[in-house]
Amino acid sequence: MSTLKRPTLKGPTASSQPKDGPSPTCMSINGVSYALPNDPRTTLLDFLHQNLALFGTKKGCDHGQCGACTVLVEGERINACLVFAFQLRGKAITTIEGIAKNDELHPLQSAFVKRDAFQCGYCTSGQICSSVALQKELADKTPSAVTFSENYSAREDISERMSGNLCRCGAYPNIVDAIEDVIALEPQ
Ligand code: FES
Ligand code: FES
């Protein structure tokens, strides 16, 4: 009977060691420059996991349905499972590992803790990256699907903007509470 061979996880390899200075064959992840993977079929999500051992970004569906893999590219959110790493050459990527500054949590991270906005936590890194991008969308006055409705509430707008991030534990009300706390602190 044949047996399945367990794949071995690799830490940073020669091709993924931090490099000094910008390069057309590199991308920046959380402020550190890395060479692109040799295999052009490598998704950003697999690159983070298999080459850089950055496991904070989660793999849920692996085909763009759940938002667990949300990261920021130049401040905008994307699903890391839907983009090849080589497409991001020269770009600045922020993962959940880069959201806090030194030992200080991002206000949204603190709000998620305060509002108990998670249960198992599997979706949480994606939820937080998404909500960080949501702040920028509001600051840039980027419309959502409800922006042109009559009498929509801030909660409806937040829910709509966060609709790409699923939570199997159903922590949605607390997630919206947490985001609303932070947005309410900011001048709009
Ligand atoms: Fe990427 Fe689900 S793992 S959207
Ligand atoms: Fe469990 Fe969201 S907290 S999936």
Q: Tell me: the pLDDT tens digits for 173-187?
A: 999 999 999 998 776
Per residue in 47-84, pLDDT (tens digit) is: 999 999 999 999 999 999 999 999 999 999 999 999 99
Q: Residue 139 C-alpha to ligand 1 middle, in angstroms?
A: 26
The structural domains of the chain, with segments of one domain joined by +, span: 14-98, 107-185
**pLDDT at residue 151 in the model:** 87
* Right CATH for 14-98 from 3.40.47.10, 3.40.605.10, 3.10.20.30, 3.40.1180.10: 3.10.20.30
Percent of the chain whose predicted confidence (pLDDT) is above 90: 80
Mean predicted lDDT score pLDDT of the chain: 90
Instruction: Give 14-42 pLDDT, tens digit per residue.
Output: 445 555 544 668 999 999 999 999 999 99
Segment 87-116 shows an average pLDDT of 97
DSSP for 167-181, written as a single string: -TT--HHHHHHHHHH
Output the CA 172–ligand 2 centroid distance in Å: 9
Looking at residue 186, its pLDDT comes to: 73
What is d(CA 135, CA 131) in angstroms, rounded to the nearest whole number? 6
Q: Is the CB of 122 under 6 A from ligand 1?
A: no
Closest ligand 2 atom to the C-alpha of 169? 1
Residue 16's pLDDT is what? 55
Coil/strand/helix, residue 43:
strand
Task: Decide whether 14-98 matches 107-185 in CATH topology.
Answer: no
Q: Nearest Cα to 13, choosing from 48, 64, 52?
A: 52
CATH class for domain 107-185?
Answer: mainly alpha
Facing residues of 19 across strands? 33
DSSP alpha helix (H) spans, the chain: 44-46, 107-114, 124-139, 154-161, 172-185
